Structure 1
Amino acid sequence: MEESYQPAPPMAGTAADQCGEPGFWRGDLLSVGAIAVLTGTTILGRHQASFRTPGWLIFDIAIGLIACGLILLLRRRPIHAALALAALAALSPAATPPSTVGTLTVAQRRPLRVAALVALAGTLGHLVQGFWRPIHGLNLAWYVVLDVAIHAALLGWGQWTQARRALLHSLRERALRAENEQGRRVAEARTLERTRMAREMHDVLAHRLSLLATYAGALEYRPDSSPEKLAQAAGVIRAGVHQALDELREVISVLRDSDIEELPGGRPQPTFGDLAALVDESRDAGTEIRYDEAVTAPESLPPATGRTAYRVVQEGLTNARKHAAGRPVTVVVKGRPGGTLQIELTNPRGNGVPLTPGSGTGLVGLTERVQLAGGTLDHGETGGGFRLHASLPWPA
């Protein structure tokens, strides 16, 4: 019955190895020592009050030693040890402290039905002791009431401890599952973002290589063209090859955004110069925005960095509209060549109800995009609001 209810967890060694560990025996010996002190105190108190013969003292000391020894079996055989202690408690008050510990141990480790039966055995054992060896000055009725009340309290305490331990274990498992699930969602978001970037680069490279194929075909089928046109076509092919190699290097290394301003079959990609239009668009939608730009030589900003900055501001304004609708937003952009481009968005905390539902992975993908661009992204609550800060490298 004991083995079927609570199987032992996997251990590194055998049972003999575990029992041979110093920590195992040290904890048990400390427990036995503390209970032995209580047992000795009980024996002295009962004999001073009853004035029994020395033979009874020797008998109680022997029962106390046996009961304290049975404490060592509570870890392995709690039910058997507790029942044996209850039987000893019927013979001598010296077994009362160990029997109490046995009842509590079973209540903490076994189901209510089993623990209640062990508590009942302990109660009956102490009732027999009360009839056989009553406490001097204590009415038998009150002894029965105290006996039942104490064992009921031990049973309730042990069951509460067991339920609390199970609840904490369940909460830890749920937290671990939630953490694993969040890690999986983050990994999926990163994979999706990388896939999106790879598709974008595939389209850009396909566009670039198709242009090169067109010019190369012209050179093959029109060898009679004028030297000026042949030189112009060769120059376009050479420049296109260099650009395609640079873009391919970015794809293979970190899947960075391409250096193309327009994707085939789609609208032009945003640039740093489109930030003002993005802010105005959000203002027209009803968001109060304070836009502070202090950027030196913005025309020298690499297009990929400018697009990343645009995406950072776009995601920040989107999150502000979703989670803090109607609240003002502050956008600060500053930087210079040879340093970094700093982007910071702040807004007060909303009412806790998002305007539209979201998956919660937008910032994960944005973090991946910024990291692929060689920068860093920080976000979180601060000062009663939300702060989004990005730092992007700006080569001279």
Structure 2
Amino acid sequence: MDGPPARLRAEDTRPELTPFRHAWRLAVCLVFGLVVWSQATANEWNDHRAIFWGEVVLGVAAFVLVVFRRRAPVTVAAIVAVMSAFSGLASGPATLSAVSVATLRRPLPIIGIGLLNFACAMTYTLYAPFDLSGPIWVSVVINLVTNAAMMGWGMYLGSRRELLWTLHQRASRAEAEQELRVAQGRSQERERIAREMHDVLAHRITQISMQSAALAFRDDLEADELRAGLGEIQGKSNEAINELRGVLGVLRDQATGELVDGPQPTYSDLAALVSESRDNGLHVEFSDRVDRSDGEVPDVVGRALYRIIQEGLTNATKHAPGAVVRIALSGSPADGIDFQIRNPLGFAVGSAPGAGLGLVGLSERAELRGGTLVHGREGTTFVLRGWIPWST
């Protein structure tokens, strides 16, 4: 089980430092350090040569250390700050490392490094071998303002980096979610096409299976009767192929997902479907008590009912050949349409294979239209019933 999302760390939002970014940062540090150190270089070179070279060594060491500030920002900032108390050249790296700590936006390190930098800067100001040109409070104010400014700048950079990182992550998530929605849409489209193919072909193929099985058990057929039976099988096969081409060749309306090209069955085609099943030897009792005085059944509703009844007839042909199938439809524009298909449970041997996927698809089709569909056994009868609203 996944735990709670990890808290965003400031370190995660920092951009990668390229050689150019490293170079210009170090160049700015060098300029700043030279400006601070320049006040003491003349006296040191003339009277305190050892201090001069000591500042150079500490300054170079500070520049080396500041390169590793991202690995241990607080530690590097503290060490370089102490170096800046004895080397004006190290004040540049000390400033950079302090800004780096401030970008993390952690109160304790910011306060600690800020105070340490101020103390070290005042130490260098008071004890370096050069004369102050003004009162001590001026140096105090300058160092306070400088430290506050660099810490504020670092906190601003950290906040801006986090904002940019957050926006980037949101954009990435939005793109990933969009790709996921597209993939889900394609998957749903494949499922809809598969259900449509099942609904279209299962009925025809079941008829072909039953007719071919009947021919296989008839030894008394004349040649003309055999040709006629085979002709019917060929006709059903051609119809199945044409309907399959119709399913695969249609274009779908992007807004509703409905099939918009090619002839699609409607409510008015139910009578022909029932008549065709009767011609194939199925006993069908069809009761249509739908009130259409105020208008015909909408095409999308009629199409759903057609597929549901087609699947019911297909199942009856598979599992209870020769049984009586009772179909009852009733309803009105205000009440929607109730449907029910009943047939005795069959015991046919060698029934066409199936896994109930058609019934699952019908349930999804009915739910897609805002209706319901249930199926199951009631005693010795298999019942498929449900309801679909008139307008979906």
* TM-score for the superposition, normalised by structure 1: 0.51
Contact 1:99-1:122 at 8 Å conserved across structures? yes
Instruction: Give the letter for the 1:35 counterpart.
Output: C
Aligned match of 2:111: 116
Per-residue deviation at 1:196? 1.3
Q: Cα–Cα, structure 1 residues 150 and 33, in superposed 2: closer, same or farther, change >3 Å?
A: closer
Q: Which structure 2 residues correspond to residues 137-152 of structure 1 after superposition, within 5 A?
A: 137-152=133-148
2:237 is the alignment partner of 1:241: yes
Distance (Å, rounded) in 2 between the aligned partners of 1:186 and 1:165: 31
Deviation readout 1:137-172 (Å, 9 max, x if unpaired): 233212111111111111111122122222222222
SS of 2:85 mapped into structure 1: helix
Alignment gaps of 5+ in structure 2: 1-7, 253-258, 272-294, 296-392
Of the three residues 64, 73, 79, the one matched with 1:72 is: 64
Distance (Å, rounded) in 2 between the aligned partners of 1:64 and 1:265: 98
Q: Cα–Cα, structure 1 residues 229 and 117, in superposed 2: closer, same or farther, change >3 Å?
A: same
Aligned match of 1:295: none
Per-residue deviation at 1:123? 0.5
Alignment gaps of 5+ in structure 1: 10-22, 269-280, 282-396
Of the three residues 82, 88, 100, the one matched with 1:87 is: 82
Aligned match of 2:341: none
Per-residue deviation at 1:254? 11
Q: Which structure 2 residues correspond to residues 16-31 of structure 1 after superposition, within 5 A?
A: 31=25
Q: Cα–Cα, structure 1 residues 62 and 6, in superposed 2: closer, same or farther, change >3 Å?
A: farther
Per-residue deviation at 1:114? 0.8
Contact 1:82-1:99 at 8 Å conserved across structures? yes
Percent identical residues = 27
Distance (Å, rounded) in 1 between the aligned partners of 2:108 and 2:269: 71
Distance (Å, rounded) in 1 between the aligned partners of 2:267 and 2:190: 20
SS of 2:48 mapped into structure 1: helix
Aligned match of 2:165: 169
2:26 is the alignment partner of 1:39: no
Contact 1:116-1:155 at 8 Å conserved across structures? no
Which one is further off, 221-230 or 104-113?
221-230
Aligned match of 1:63: 55
Per-residue deviation at 1:102? 2.2
Aligned match of 1:155: 151
* TM-score for the superposition, normalised by structure 2: 0.51
Aligned match of 1:262: 265
Distance (Å, rounded) in 1 between the aligned partners of 2:121 and 2:196: 82
Instruction: Give the letter for the 1:59 counterpart.
Output: I
Instruction: Give the letter for the 1:63 counterpart.
Output: E
Which one is further off, 26-35 or 153-162?
26-35
Aligned match of 1:285: none
Instruction: Give the letter for the 1:149 counterpart.
Output: V
2:127 is the alignment partner of 1:132: yes
Aligned match of 1:290: none
Instruction: Give the letter for the 2:158 counterpart.
Output: Q
Distance (Å, rounded) in 2 between the aligned partners of 1:175 and 1:146: 43
Aligned pair count reads 250
Distance (Å, rounded) in 2 between the aligned partners of 1:260 and 1:235: 25
SS of 1:124 mapped into structure 2: helix
Contact 2:103-2:157 at 8 Å conserved across structures? yes
Per-residue deviation at 1:264? 9.8
Distance (Å, rounded) in 1 between the aligned partners of 2:30 and 2:81: 17
Per-residue deviation at 1:129? 2.5
Q: Which structure 2 residues correspond to residues 237-316 of structure 1 after superposition, within 5 A?
A: 237-245=233-241, 261-262=264-265
Contact 2:62-2:83 at 8 Å conserved across structures? no
Distance (Å, rounded) in 1 between the aligned partners of 2:222 and 2:251: 40
CA RMSD of aligned residues (A): 4.4
Instruction: Give the letter for the 2:172 counterpart.
Output: L
Distance (Å, rounded) in 1 between the aligned partners of 2:214 and 2:264: 25
Distance (Å, rounded) in 2 between the aligned partners of 1:6 and 1:61: 41
2:111 is the alignment partner of 1:106: no
SS of 1:137 mapped into structure 2: coil
